[in-house]
Amino acid sequence: MPQAKKKSKSAIPEGNQIAHRLSESFFILTMLLAVYLVACLVTYDPTDPGPFNPVASEQVSNAGRLLGAWLANVSLFLTGYLAYTLPVVLVY
């Protein structure tokens, strides 16, 4: 006598799996961006090159390299110490 096969039931309907995967991917990318922004802000050096830094050196000491130095310079110039809350706001 053949045994009956069980139908696999996933917790998420098949039509919503793609949307669920995209949502998870977006969350992971947002978390990575927030961690990168925190690293850039924590390693900010006033001598790094940036759009609002007229006395910039050519050597970049920011953990995010040149892009990180620019992001930290712009966010700290525009929002001051509130820039450190931007990664939290980004994730939330």
Domain assignments of the chain as residue spans, ordered by start: 35-91
- CA 54 to CA 78: how far, in whole Å? 16
What confidence score (pLDDT) does residue 1 get? 63
- Closest-CA residue to 50 (of 65, 35, 34, 33): 65
What per-residue confidence (pLDDT) applies to 55? 73
Predicted local confidence at residue 10, as pLDDT: 61
Q: Which residues in the chain land under pLDDT 70?
A: 1-2, 4-12, 56
Sequence-distant (6+) residues with CB within 8 A of 88 are 34
CA angle, residues 64, 68, 70, in degrees to nearest 5: 155
Say what the pLDDT of residue 12 is.
Answer: 66
Report the amino acid identity of residue 25. S
Give pTM, 2 decimals: 0.79
Length of the chain: 92
